[in-house]
Structure 1
Amino acid sequence: MNTPTGFDFRPPQYAKVVARGRRMRVLRNVGALLGVVLLLTGAWIGAGRWLNGCSSGMWRGVDDECVGVSDGSASLHPGLGDIEEKIERENDRIAGIGGKVVTVAVLTPVPEPGGERASVSLEQVRSKIIGAYLAQRKTNLVEGAYPLIRLVIADEGSNEKSWQPVVEKLIGLTEDEQPLVAVTGLGVSIGETIDAAHLLARHDIPMVGAVLTADGLNMTGAVRSERGPIRGLYRVSPSNHTEVLALHEHLATQQRKYMLVRDQNFNDFYTTGLRDDFAEVFSAELESSGVQRSFDGTPGINGTTNQFNEIGNELCSPGTPDTVLYAGRASLLDAFVEKLRDRYCQKQITVVTGSDAAKLANTELPQNVDVIYAALADPKALGDKRFNVYAEDYRANFDAYRQREGIDSRDLGNGWAIMEFDAMTAVVLAAQNALRGETEIGPAEVRTSLVGLTSERSAVTGAGDKFYFNADTGDPVGRTIHVIHRFGNESEPVDKYTS
């Protein structure tokens, strides 16, 4: 059959095939486009993680620091890599065991690598996380003991500036399959810690502080009385006032002339508490022969060097005090001591201060300067029966696990590992008591159970002390403060005081 010019005649079946082919090409093109979109989306997510410089699951917080909550899989700091691996491995191990698992968080500032001065040192944070891990392992290795403990580290930034989003992340974890039941650690005694504690308390999440020493930074909330009580806040560390009482008792029989050197950073309740407690407890000594000088140690404030120069010049003059009551952070104590070095100062000077001075564990002092401080937990003292009646408990409950887990003793010098171990131990005991007769527990049940640890009969066996909590304040009862004398690169326990 002849087809008229200009007409395209094709059998009907062929036309259907062509139409189907066109549809297939469209679908292939759409599929290819979708694949490109997914590929670009994945690349964008990956690039975002790379561009923000933070590990997976972490984010940029205040001051552009990486913050967030990690189960050990994220890198919080290059100096924490080995202990993060241990935590991740333990969390993975218990996930495959079966049985009840709950989550406990360590809320802590972590210094930014290469950053400015932080509220804590890397050594202190490392010790704290090691203490939490050792308590986790000790708990999880007891056959048949439940709940098993999943550990997470909540990094709120080097000066705790990102406390709010990190705490809100923790609050969300209370609804997880392995629910968050308590928070330990809680940074140091600054305003951001108080704010974080109030927010956690409003959500009925119990807390056990490891190294909180500011007066009134407990359930009473007296540290900032206008904010009201902080329900559910316990701590294993004695207060600043108790530390100063221990120091005064040790020095009471010695003839000394004192100068009170105090930090004017009013956001740091550790230093303001030391200042007030030194002024009160050493009032007679300061009235008879003492003088007072101030400096401003607020992070980011310049001029500390000049202030220390002036104070050092005065101290090194003839007839001036030979003993400094130092109400400041140990992070600035190195710089202060440097101004008293023998090439500038031709006299012997003793610096008396609080528990933060344990940070000096790896610092060599000049020959003409020694430091006397009140330690929250000193490994030498805890292992010596002259200073600790529970020396065998310390070896069994802490030192043995430290060796078993391959933790170097150099990580324990500042005592933070021991204090965090004890904070975790108290939480674990409360969680175990709460689970008896129950199938499920959460933060409310653990908070109620902590109330049961407020008598001598229910004392917690910590790393070095057996202690319980004051029912009204949440402060520890029965803890021993060790007075440490540091000279050169050595330190020795010289006295003890029981809270």
Structure 2
Amino acid sequence: MTDWFRRVFWFTPLRKGLTVLLALAVVAGLAYGVHRVANPDLTCAEGVARPEADAECVGVSADGYAFGVTALKEVAGAIARENQGLTKGEYATVAVMLPITSTDSGMRTKVLHELQGAFLQQYAANHDSNEQVPKIRLVLANTGKGNHYWRTTVRQLKGMVDGPDNLRAVSGVATSSAETKDAVKELTGAGIPVIGTTITADDIANGPDGDPYPGLARVSPTNGDEARAIAQFGKVEAKRAVLVQDTRPGDHYTATLKKAFADLLADAPYEPQLFTSPPDPTDEGTTPNTFRQIALLLCGTRDADTVFFAGRHTQLRQFVNALGQRPCQHREFTVLTGDEGSYLGADDRLDKKALANKVSVRYASLAHPDAWKEPGAPRTGGSPAAYKVFTDLLEKAADPDIGPIGETSLRDGQAIIAYDAMATAVRGIREATVDKLPAIHDVVTQWPQLKGPLKVEGASGWICLDNHGNPYNKAVPIVELARDGSQRFVEIAWPEEKAPAQDCLPPGAS
């Protein structure tokens, strides 16, 4: 280094200035780094964010965001393309609210099938309804695993009622849990119409004793209706039946199902056999050991041959596995349960050998692809023609201009029932308007009118809502788990013993 350079750059004010600038740059960089650590970017996509660091992405998306679930990319993309063709101000938005980021394999399959069914109805409403208005925009609303972040998502939905979103209904809400009950309570309390797909708990419903959820409609029968339909189908003698029930608190599905079963078995000679599932009922827990003991106790009964099971699908699978290994292999047992049985067919942990060991599993399904096929379909309560409209749409979705919507299966009934829930939402929205876009409070008032000639001709059967938004005498397909694990349709049962009359009008002052 020359003396000149040292004098100019090292021993002059320039050196001091450069040093200050360098120090400022270092401080600014450190400050930015600290800010990024203290305030990380929690955005996932438009309308979607993490409520806190390391949380799931929750919120509402209309733009094809699949919430990191690979299996949903195709159907989410199809929904986004349909939405992009709509004009602002000329559509009503319907949200499908589900625990989209659930890690439970059964729930993930359910979510996929529900979104597929909802999209098929959105497409039909926008393209196959003789230019009826308003058009329908569909958005995906994720409440997180176990609906943990339902408050975040519901808060966002409440802010979407006015333009440009024009939210007019929320569908989905597919699990009968405490979180779902709270979410429905808040949505309906804010005047937002809700159409439940697979909520069946009797206490997440309105009724003659009051309407705690004003604006709630359901397309699935209650657990009470399911239980009556099963009893009518099975003609079970109470003296030969045992109730096996979950005691975990806060689960409205199991609580109302066991009450419905207990009412049917009021004269049973055997006390209920109890188990307690983990706080997260999709966890395996220690219940397999309890079920081994219950299977042994069943062998100790004199003549019991029927088990009414009030529990979730994970525990149902564990119980069936244990029953298949019971010591009294010479005795036959039939397990009867609610719609959670629909998960068993896709459960790779099910021991199919149990089904060959004189164990039958039959459940009340919400829908089944064979229920309305000719010949032999009931003359009322539904129709093969309405079901064919649905399957034709499913075939149409293979067109790359419409779909694809991902791998489909109808055996669990989820796509069918979600399609019907969206059909009910569309009917309510369009019946409430004389122009283009109805006021949201007018949609709420439509549910009691959807009966008789205004009934929804669903793919799962007729949806004739009573004055409290519950489906009257809805078809209940009874399904049997075959020895290979497939789900075999047996017959349609009815809560009121027989199919509804042609007018499909609930009797009395409901």
Alignment correspondent of 2:61: 70
Q: Which of residues 232, 235, 240 in structure 1 aligns to 2:223?
A: 240
* C-alpha distance after superposition, 1:385-413 (max 9, x if no partner): 42444442233321111111136785221
Deviation at 1:443, TM superposition (A): 1.8
Q: Tell whether 2:272 aligns with 1:292.
A: yes
| Structure-2 residue corresponding to 1:422 | 420
Q: Report the Cα offset of residue 282 of structure 1.
A: 2.4
SS in 1 for 2:371: helix
**How far has the Cα of 1:44 moved from its partner?**
6.3
SS at match of 1:469: coil
Q: In structure 1, give the amino acid aligned to 2:113.
A: S
Structure 2 residue matching 1:411: 3-state secondary structure: coil
Distance 1:464 1:300, change over 3 A: closer
1:486 aligns with 2:481: yes
In the other structure, the counterpart of 1:7 is none
Deviations 1:6-44 (A, max 9, x none): xxxxxxxxxxxxxxxxxxxxxxx9xxx9xx99xx89x96
AA matched with 2:58: V
- Aligned counterpart in structure 1 of residue 430 of structure 2, from 414, 429, 432: 432
1:122-171 per-residue CA deviation (whole Å, 9 max, x = no partner) reads 11111111111111001011342211111011111121121111101001
Q: Give the partner amino acid of 1:483.
A: I
Q: CA deviation at 1:75?
A: 2.1
Residue among 248, 257, 261 paired with 1:265 = 248
Contact preservation (8 Å) 2:368, 2:460? no
Deviations 1:323-366 (A, max 9, x none): 21100011321222221224866243221101111112334632
* Aligned-partner Cα distance in 2 for 1:154–1:273: 27
Q: Hey, what does 1:383 align to over in structure 2? A: 373
Closer, same or farther in 2 for the Cα pair 1:334/1:221, shift >3 Å?
Answer: farther
- Mapping for residues 190-269 of structure 1, pairs under 5 Å: 190-220=177-207, 229-252=212-235, 257-269=240-252
Q: Say whether 1:441 aligns with 2:433.
A: no
Equivalent in the alignment of 2:335: 351
- State whether residues 449 and 465 of structure 2, in contact with CA within 8 Å, keep that contact through their aligned partners in structure 1: no
What letter matches 2:369 in structure 1? P
> Which amino acid is the alignment partner of residue 130 of structure 1?
Q
One-letter amino acid of the counterpart of residue 164, structure 2: E
Equivalent residue letter for 1:179: N
Q: Given the superposition, is the C-alpha separation of residues 165 and 409 from structure 1 closer, same or farther in structure 2, using an over 3 Å criterion?
A: closer
Residue correspondence of structure 1 range 11-50 to structure 2 within 5 A: 48-49=40-41
Change (3 A) 1:395 1:242: closer
- Pairing partner for 1:313 from 286, 291, 296: 296
Pick the aligned partner of 1:279 from 262, 272, 280. Answer: 262
**C-alpha RMSD of the superposition:** 3.0
TM-score using structure 1 length: 0.81
**Partner in structure 1 of residue 402 of structure 2:** none
Unaligned runs of 5+ in 1: 1-28
The 8 Å contact of residues 210 and 423 in structure 1, kept in 2 or not, is answered as yes
Counterpart for residue 15 of structure 1: none
CA gap 1:300/1:449 in 2 versus in 1, 3 angstroms: closer
- What aligned pairs does 1:463-474 form with structure 2 within 5 A after superposition? 463-471=459-467, 473-474=468-469
- Distance in 1 (alpha carbons) for counterparts of 2:199 and 2:473: 17
Residue in 1 that maps onto 2:84: 92
Label 1:329 to 1:385 Cα distance change in 2 as closer, same or farther (>3 A): farther
Query: Counting helix residues as a fraction of each chain, which structure ranks higher?
Result: 1
Quote the Cα distance in structure 2 between the aligned partners of 1:73 and 1:464: 28
Could you say what secondary structure the match of 1:249 adopts?
Answer: helix
Separation of aligned partners in 1, 2:469 and 2:418 = 16
Shift of 1:78: 1.9
SS in 1 for 2:324: coil
Counterpart amino acid of residue 217 in structure 2: Y
In structure 1, what is the Cα distance between the partners aligned to 2:262 and 2:364? 17
- The size of the alignment, in residue pairs, is 444
Q: Say whether 1:132 aligns with 2:118.
A: yes
Deviation of 1:439 (Å): 4.5
Cα 1:72–1:330 shift into 2, 3 Å: farther
Identity of aligned residues (%): 29
AA at the equivalent of 2:454:
S
SS at match of 1:86: helix
- Give 2:12's aligned residue: none
- Secondary structure of residue in 2 paired with 1:382: coil
Per-residue deviation, 1:445: 2.3
Tell me how far apart the structure 2 counterparts of residues 416 and 448 of structure 1 sit (CA, whole Å).
27
Match of 1:452 among 440, 444, 449: 449
Confirm or deny that 1:461 pairs with 2:457.
yes
Identify which range, 314-323 or 146-155, moves more after superposition. Answer: 314-323
Contact (CA 8 Å) 2:148, 2:179: kept in 1 or not? yes
User: SS at the partner of 1:340?
Assistant: helix
Change (3 A) 1:298 1:392: same
SS of alignment partner, residue 260 of structure 1: strand
Q: Secondary structure at the match of 1:245?
A: helix
Match of 1:83 among 75, 87, 97: 75
Q: Distance in 2 between matches of 1:450 and 1:391?
A: 22
Q: Tell me how far 1:111 sits from its aligned partner.
A: 4.1
TM-score by length of 2: 0.79
Q: Which runs of 5+ in 2 are unaligned?
A: 1-20, 399-404, 496-510
SS in 1 for 2:230: helix
Report SS of the residue matched to 2:242.
strand
Greater Cα shift, 212-221 or 181-190: 212-221
Query: How far apart in 1 are the matches of 2:419 and 2:226?
Result: 20
